């Protein structure tokens, strides 16, 4: 495992692209059986001993004003059901990034904590984690029922179970977001958009009436050729060697030589040449949401899910039309993007596992961590969604995160007003109906090709953004790009991925 420390650090790059929500076997429709007093059936609960004090680190969207009230209500439940007192440690991603290494390498009290799945190998090597295999059967039965072993195994390396995934989306298909008012003005509808190529005549119609506007734009890394993930599986990392054909092949190939990648680049090049994209697209660091909110953008691409429209309406300030452009594909690095592990500094990993299992299974726990205290921070509406109580707003609420994708089981929680009350069931339906990559559960060990991957990254930095934003001639630049990739060692990386995948498939 020692070598994997550097290996996995190199594969981290694409993990933050998925900031979203998720569905599984027992999604928002979990019945009373999963919301029972989980502690009452845990054989490890001994109410004659002193309560165990557990530290729970979790991610929040903003600095919390009133975590004390949430912690107090949570402890009323955990002390009664588990004989555990919980100390909450909410951290924003910025604060987490500054502190996590220091916390993990110290003797500070910590039981449960979140981390990016791409760090699994390095955290195992550094001995920051407890192997959950030792506790899953006795204290994690609800986790198995709720998440499913197939998805849990995406968090396992060489038999070491490094955590369990949060209940966020298991697929990240490319989607297009358009201003509905301008789409209607163009004479087209969402039914006219079956592929990205169908956007071209719509851009032409809107551009004719609004030549001052940008038809298509976004953060350059979110440009269309970069978000068509549904068509291939990069197998836990970069696109240097992928399974094409919606992950339904077991032959590793060069994505950058595929017709699909070339055609996507050529399409955005066409938009560029017609003046539909901004002049600074290749260097753009503004999100499509912020550009649309500013009033000068008609359309952008994003990663889609069942409630994309509700999210984008809120983020842009416009009524939007959202259309999925790619297949739904389940891949390892989407499922294990965010997971919760048990720290090796835990004084009682069995009780930490008991608590982790209980939170996933207990609706009130998930509502507390995400929405705060009922009646104080939110109220339940007639349709089953929740909203602020009268007189409470985003500016004065004591506790409100709306950060379910980063917390444990948002599917066992309320949906906020404006969403479909059954939104988590829809996440589950998408997950269950998606294509499943032939490499689902496979984790690529980059150790043997670290030098090559570093060199390939340098070549990618030189060419990729200009290609995917339509800023250069596609055929000429793509040929140069691939030539340099092979010189930098692409074939060796492809061969290594193929060898590891073949060995993994033989074990399945």
222 neighbors 288 (Cβ within 8 angstroms): yes
pLDDT given at position 339: 96
* Number of structural domains found in the chain: 2
**pTM (two decimals):** 0.85
In a domain, 79, yes or no: yes
Specify burial of residue 295 (Cβ count, 10 A radius: 0-12, 13-18, 19+): exposed
Asked if residue 131 and residue 189 are part of one domain, the reply reads: no
Asked if residue 236 and residue 303 are part of one domain, the reply reads: yes
pLDDT given at position 10: 37
Asked if residue 78 and residue 57 are part of one domain, the reply reads: yes
| Rounded Cα gap, residues 279 and 416, in angstroms | 38
Domain of 360 in residue numbering reads as 34-169+335-430
Asked if residue 224 and residue 162 are part of one domain, the reply reads: no
Asked if residue 104 and residue 43 are part of one domain, the reply reads: yes
Q: Given 379, 395, 430, which residue is the final one in a domain?
A: 430
pLDDT given at position 64: 86
> Please, what are the averages of pLDDT over each run of 10 residues along the chain (508 residues)?
37 37 36 40 76 97 92 98 97 92 92 94 94 96 96 94 96 96 97 97 98 95 91 88 97 97 97 95 92 96 94 94 96 95 97 98 98 98 97 94 94 94 95 96 90 96 96 97 98 97 94
pLDDT given at position 259: 96
| Rounded Cα gap, residues 150 and 181, in angstroms | 43
In a domain, 344, yes or no: yes
Asked if residue 340 and residue 314 are part of one domain, the reply reads: no
pLDDT given at position 229: 81
In a domain, 8, yes or no: no
Asked if residue 95 and residue 217 are part of one domain, the reply reads: no
In a domain, 24, yes or no: no
Asked if residue 467 and residue 407 are part of one domain, the reply reads: no
What three-state secondary structure class fits 277?
A: strand
In a domain, 505, yes or no: yes
Q: Which string of b and e fits 303-315 if b means at least 16 CB within 10 Å?
A: bbbbbbbbbbbeb
In a domain, 7, yes or no: no
pLDDT given at position 31: 40
Asked if residue 417 and residue 308 are part of one domain, the reply reads: no
Specify burial of residue 99 (Cβ count, 10 A radius: 0-12, 13-18, 19+): middle
Asked if residue 322 and residue 257 are part of one domain, the reply reads: yes
Asked if residue 453 and residue 308 are part of one domain, the reply reads: yes
Distances 347 to 108, 344, 382 between C-alpha atoms, Å: 11, 8, 44
- The Cβ of residue 84 has, within 10 Å, a number of other Cβ atoms equal to 24
Asked if residue 398 and residue 507 are part of one domain, the reply reads: no
- Nearest C-alpha neighbor of 252 from the set 241, 267, 263, 260: 241
In a domain, 21, yes or no: no
In a domain, 467, yes or no: yes
88: left (phi over 0), alpha (psi -120 to 50) or beta: beta
* Cα-only R_g, the chain: 23
Residue 42, domain CATH:
3.40.190.10
The secondary element (H helix, E strand) that includes residue 178 is: strand 174-179
């Amino acid at each position: 495992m020692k070598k994997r420390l550097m290996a996995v650090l190199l594969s981290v790059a694409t993990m933050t692209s998925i900031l979203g929500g998720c569905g599984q076997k027992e999604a928002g429709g979990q019945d009373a059986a999963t919301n029972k007093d989980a502690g009452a059936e845990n054989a490890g609960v001994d109410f004659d001993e002193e309560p165990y004090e557990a530290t729970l680190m979790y991610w929040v969207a903003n600095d919390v004003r009133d975590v004390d009230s949430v912690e107090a209500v949570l402890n009323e439940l955990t002390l009664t059901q588990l004989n555990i007192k919980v100390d909450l440690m909410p951290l924003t991603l910025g604060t987490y990034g500054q502190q996590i290494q220091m916390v993990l390498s110290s003797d500070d009290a910590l039981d449960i904590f979140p981390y990016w799945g791409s760090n699994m190998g390095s955290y195992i090597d550094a001995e920051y984690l407890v192997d959950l295999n030792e506790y899953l059967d006795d204290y994690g039965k609800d986790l198995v029922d709720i998440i499913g072993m197939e998805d849990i195994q995406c968090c396992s390396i060489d038999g070491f179970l490094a955590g369990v995934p949060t209940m966020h989306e298991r697929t990240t298909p490319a989607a297009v977001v358009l201003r509905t008012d301008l789409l209607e003005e163009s004479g087209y509808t969402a039914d006219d958009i079956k592929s990205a190529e169908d956007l071209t005549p719509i851009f032409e119609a809107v551009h004719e009436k609004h030549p001052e506007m940008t038809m298509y734009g976004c953060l350059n890394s979110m440009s269309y050729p970069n978000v068509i993930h549904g068509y291939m599986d990069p197998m836990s990392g970069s696109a240097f060697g992928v399974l094409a054909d919606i992950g339904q092949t077991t032959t590793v190939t060069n994505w950058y030589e595929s017709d699909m990648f070339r055609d996507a680049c050529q399409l955005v090049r066409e938009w560029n040449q017609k003046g539909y994209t901004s002049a600074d697209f290749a260097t753009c660091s503004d999100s499509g949401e912020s550009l649309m909110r500013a009033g000068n953008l008609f359309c952008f691409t994003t990663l889609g899910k069942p409630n994309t429209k509700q999210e984008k309406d809120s983020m842009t300030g416009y009524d939007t039309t959202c259309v999925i452009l790619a297949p739904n594909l389940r891949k390892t690095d989407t499922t294990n993007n965010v997971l919760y592990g048990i720290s090796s500094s835990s004084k009682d990993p069995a009780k930490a596992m008991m608590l982790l299992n209980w939170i996933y299974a207990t609706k009130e726990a998930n509502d507390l961590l995400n929405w705060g205290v009922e009646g104080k921070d939110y109220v339940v509406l007639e349709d089953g969604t929740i909203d602020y109580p009268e007189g409470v707003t985003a500016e004065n609420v004591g506790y409100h995160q709306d950060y379910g994708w980063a917390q444990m089981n948002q599917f066992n929680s309320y949906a906020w007003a404006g969403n479909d009350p059954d939104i988590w069931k829809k996440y589950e339906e998408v997950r269950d109906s998606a294509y499943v990559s032939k490499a689902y559960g496979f984790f690529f060990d980059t150790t043997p090709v670290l030098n090559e991957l570093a060199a390939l990254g340098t070549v990618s930095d030189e060419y990729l953004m200009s290609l995917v934003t339509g800023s250069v001639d596609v055929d000429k630049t793509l040929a140069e790009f691939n030539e340099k990739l092979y010189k930098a060692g692409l074939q060796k990386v492809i061969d290594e991925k193929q060898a590891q995948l073949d060995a993994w498939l033989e074990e399945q």
